[in-house]
Amino acid sequence: MLPRIISTGVRLWLHEYGVRVNWKVETVQGLILALALILPVFQTAPQLPALNMIHVDVSGLRTNNGQVMCSLYASGESFPKNDNKAMAHAKSAISNGEGVCEFIGIGPGRYAIAVFHDENSNGKLDANFLGIPREGVGASNNAKGHFGPPKFEDAAFQFTGGRIDMKIAVAYL
């Protein structure tokens, strides 16, 4: 009697999902066989695409004041001076002299990252009258500039998709 109740329940359940059932399940073995054949159909789910992410650990921050500002550039024409031309931005709170910036949903390509320690949280890199930053700065590949900011070519890296983890050390000039 129990197999007949179970088979009726399975038939009703399958019918709700649009599966037409025209067999009789009289035994527990028949029920197990029927479930083994049908359940894999309901368990297949489409695979989600891998999440593209550039994860940046920023270190060397002299205080926990303010925030870390990160900008992702796809070309050297505006790197790192024109933040408005960056293709993506991220910011992070600071804890124990470190911050984390993540750029999510970025396609494969050649990029460079510029970071600065926005100590007074005004959203811009403060500089003295000569243009020398008063706040800490850094770039991908820990590229350094000579009498100016680093060049895009020195900071550039190839991103092929998936996830990449980078480390950038901030320097105070």
105-160 residue pLDDT tens: 999 999 999 999 999 999 999 999 999 999 999 999 999 999 899 999 999 999 99
Of 104 and 28, more confident = 104
φ, ψ of residue 130 in degrees (nearest 5): -90, -5
Please state, in angstroms and rounded to a whole number, the distance separating the CA atoms of residues 24 and 141: 68
Task: Indicate whether 24 pLDDT > 70.
Answer: no
Look at the alpha carbons of 124, 128, 131, 137 in this order and tell me if their dihedral is positive or negative: negative
Please tell me the predicted confidence (pLDDT) of residue 173.
Answer: 92
The stretch 49-55 carries a mean pLDDT of: 85
Please tell me the predicted confidence (pLDDT) of residue 108.
Answer: 97
At 15, the amino acid letter reads H
Q: Write down the pTM of the prediction.
A: 0.72
Please tell me the predicted confidence (pLDDT) of residue 84.
Answer: 92
Closest CA to 41 of 22, 24, 17, 6: 17
Task: Indicate whether 50 pLDDT > 70.
Answer: no
Three-state DSSP string of the chain? CHHHHHHHHHHHHHHHCCCCCCCCCCCHHHHHHHHHHHHHHHHCCCCCCCCCEEEEEEECCCCCCCEEEEEEECCCCCCCCCHHHCCEEEEECCECCEEEEEEECCCCEEEEEEEEEECCCCCCCCECCCCCECCCEEEHHHCCCCCCCCCHHHHCEEECCCEEEEEEECECC
Please tell me the predicted confidence (pLDDT) of residue 123.
Answer: 95
Band of pLDDT at residue 14, cut at 50, 70 and 90: very low
Task: Indicate whether 16 pLDDT > 70.
Answer: no
Please tell me the predicted confidence (pLDDT) of residue 67.
Answer: 98
φ, ψ of residue 97 in degrees (nearest 5): 75, 15
The stretch 82-105 carries a mean pLDDT of: 97
Q: Which domains does the chain have, with CATH numbers?
A: 2-43 (no CATH), 53-169 (2.60.40)
